[in-house]
Structure 1
Amino acid sequence: MKAVLEVCVDTVDSAFEAQRAGADRLVLCSGLVLGGTTPNINFYYEVRNHLDLPISVLVKPHFGDHCCSPAEFEMMKDDIALFRDAGADAVQTGILTPDGALDVLRMDELIVLAQEMKMVLGRAFDECREPEEAFQRAKMMGFGGLVTSGQCRRSYDGRSLIARLLLNADGMEIAVAGEMEPHEFAAFRRVTAASVYQGNWLKKADSPMQYRKKRRLLEPADGQNYTVWQTDTQKIAAMRAAMDGE
Structure 2
Amino acid sequence: MKLLEVCVDSLASALAAKQGGADRLEFCSALAVGGLTPYADLLRQIKAELDLPVRCLMRPRAGDFLYTRDELELLCRQIETLRSAGADGFVIGALTPEGTLDLPAMRTLLDACGGAPVTLHRCIDVSRDLCATYRAAAALGIDTVLTSGGAGSCRKGISQLAALLSLRDELDGPEVLIGAGVNAAVIDELRVALPGARAFHASCKTLLESGMTFRREGVPMGLPGLDEWHIQQTDADAVRAAKAAVMR
TM-score, scaled relative to structure 2 = 0.90
Give the structure 2 partner of residue 186 of structure 1.
Answer: 188
Shift of 1:20: 0.9
Query: Any idea what the Cα deviations from partners look like across 1:57-101, whole Å, max 9, x if unmatched?
Result: 000001122122222111111112222233322100101122211
Shift of 1:110: 0.9
Decide which of 208, 225, 236 is 1:205's aligned counterpart.
208
Query: Any idea what the Cα deviations from partners look like across 1:10-41, whole Å, max 9, x if unmatched?
Result: 01111111111221111101010111000000
Structure 2 CA distance for aligned equivalents of residues 104 and 48 of structure 1: 31
Give the structure 1 partner of residue 234 of structure 2.
Answer: 231
Give the structure 1 partner of residue 138 of structure 2.
Answer: 139
Provide closer, same or farther for how the CA distance between residues 139 and 83 of structure 1 changes in structure 2, counting only shifts above 3 A.
Answer: same
The residue type equivalent to 2:30 in the other structure is G
Shift of 1:213: 4.5
Give the structure 2 partner of residue 174 of structure 1.
Answer: 176
Q: Is the 8 A contact 2:187 2:246 kept in 1?
A: yes
Q: Is the 8 A contact 1:111 1:142 kept in 2?
A: no
Shift of 1:214: 6.3
Give the structure 1 partner of residue 160 of structure 2.
Answer: 161
Give the structure 1 partner of residue 64 of structure 2.
Answer: 65
Please say if 1:20 is aligned against 2:23. Answer: no
Q: Is the 8 A contact 2:198 2:246 kept in 1?
A: no
Identity %, equivalent residues: 31
Give the total of aligned pairs: 243
State the 4+ residue runs in structure 1 displaced beyond 6 angstroms: none
Q: Is the 8 A contact 1:162 1:192 kept in 2?
A: no
The residue type equivalent to 2:242 in the other structure is M
Give the structure 1 partner of residue 122 of structure 2.
Answer: 123
TM-score, scaled relative to structure 1 = 0.91
The residue matched to 1:27 in structure 2 has which SS?
strand
Q: Is the 8 A contact 1:145 1:172 kept in 2?
A: yes
Give the structure 2 partner of residue 75 of structure 1.
Answer: 74
Query: Any idea what the Cα deviations from partners look like across 1:161-198, whole Å, max 9, x if unmatched?
Result: 22222222224222111112322323422424121110
Structure 1 CA distance for aligned equivalents of residues 69 and 213 of structure 2: 43
Shift of 1:239: 1.3
The residue type equivalent to 1:120 in the other structure is T
Query: Any idea what the Cα deviations from partners look like across 1:193-214, whole Å, max 9, x if unmatched?
Result: 1211101122222211234356
Query: Any idea what the Cα deviations from partners look like across 1:31-59, whole Å, max 9, x if unmatched?
Result: 10111000000111100011010111000
Alignment of 1:109-120 (within 5 A): 109-120=108-119
Structure 1 CA distance for aligned equivalents of residues 3 and 75 of structure 2: 28
Cα RMSD for the two superposed structures: 1.9
Q: Is the 8 A contact 1:159 1:192 kept in 2?
A: no
Please say if 1:243 is aligned against 2:233. Answer: no
Gaps in structure 2 of 5+ consecutive residues: none
Q: Is the 8 A contact 1:96 1:103 kept in 2?
A: yes
Give the structure 2 partner of residue 100 of structure 1.
Answer: 99
The residue type equivalent to 1:164 in the other structure is A
Deviates more, 1:188-197 or 1:125-134: 188-197
Shift of 1:119: 1.6
Query: Any idea what the Cα deviations from partners look like across 1:198-237, whole Å, max 9, x if unmatched?
Result: 0112222221123435685x63343612221111333222
